[in-house]
Amino acid sequence: MRRHNDIELQLLTNFSYCENCKSQNPCLGGGLNPEERKLFSRAIRHRFTFKMGARIFKVENKFKYLYAIQSGAVKIQTYAYDGTNLISGFYFSGDLIGIESIGDNVYRNDAIALSTTTVCEIPFNQLEELCDSIPALRHEVMMLFAKKIRHTEQAVVHGRHLHAKLRLLRFLQYLYEQNGVSRADGSNRVLLPMSKGDIACYLGLCPESLSRALKKLEKEGVIRNRSKSIELLDTETYSELICEENRY
């Protein structure tokens, strides 16, 4: 048995996962015609569901697959020389994970489910072959890579120069764009499937500093800090803050 923590839901017959995909955000294949989409869909032979805390792939394991998150949330984490965790990102429904390991023989990091998470397994070599026969897919994949490059560069370039408070705000804004829930009363809520400690690590802060940053923002009336979610009370001061005092 290749894995321990997962339950394989369905095996390939003539069934297509893609055609029955209920995900709000499709991972790939949105720009394909039905014919092409069918071809692409055939490459996806397995769909797995992981419990919270289970590893979707492990660092140093042989790299073979990308995984499209159908539902749930995932954190990607590596380890420093001394063993401390380093979190390089959080991913949600519609995201493709494993991209950072392309070009290596092994995964460069662990992917850990933050809640019950369902993923589709995409064999990378088959994806490459499909790219050669389906130009639209090739384009889509390249644009996906390009988006990742843009996003990561952004994170590097700005992240280095920002105060804790600002990094946190940008992160919340990002989460809100991904997952945000607007409510009738005008307040907006971001659910946090990850721990505060993970967020701190992702932002390059110690947990204590994150805690203090959250508190400061709460005092200023910008957010309301809950245990598993954060309410964004005032999106205006918000954007102002990000624009104004953005430098170190």
Burial class (CB in 10 A: 0-12, 13-18, 19+), 101: buried
Q: Is 152 in the site for its own copies (CB under 8 A)?
A: yes
- The tokens for 46 are 């397995």
Q: What part of residues 164-183 is at the interface with DNA (CB under 7 A)?
A: 164-165
Binding range to DNA, per CB under 7 A, among 20-28, 135-143, 176-184, 192-200: 192-200
Candidate list 212, 224, 231, 237; residue touching DNA; CB under 7 A: 212
Q: Is 208 in the site for its own copies (CB under 8 A)?
A: no
Q: What is the DSSP letter of 20?
A: G
Could you tell me where the beta strands, DSSP code E, fall in the chain?
Answer: 6-8, 46-50, 55-57, 65-71, 73-79, 85-92, 96-97, 110-113, 117-123, 181-182, 188-191, 223-225, 229-232
For residue 63, the minimal CB distance to its own copies (Å) is 11
Residues 78, 108: contact at Cβ < 8 Å?
yes
For residue 51, the minimal CB distance to its own copies (Å) is 26
The 10 Å Cβ neighbour count of residue 156 is 9
- Whole-number Å distance between alpha carbons of 79 and 85: 5
Q: What part of residues 39-78 is at the interface with its own copies (CB under 8 A)?
A: 78
For residue 218, the minimal CB distance to DNA (Å) is 9
Write out the residues near its own copies by the rule CB under 8 A: 78, 80-82, 84, 86-88, 99-104, 108, 128, 131-132, 135, 138-139, 141-143, 145-150, 152-153, 155-161, 203-204, 243-244, 246-248
Write out the residues near DNA by the rule CB under 7 A: 163-165, 195-198, 204-215, 225, 227, 247-248
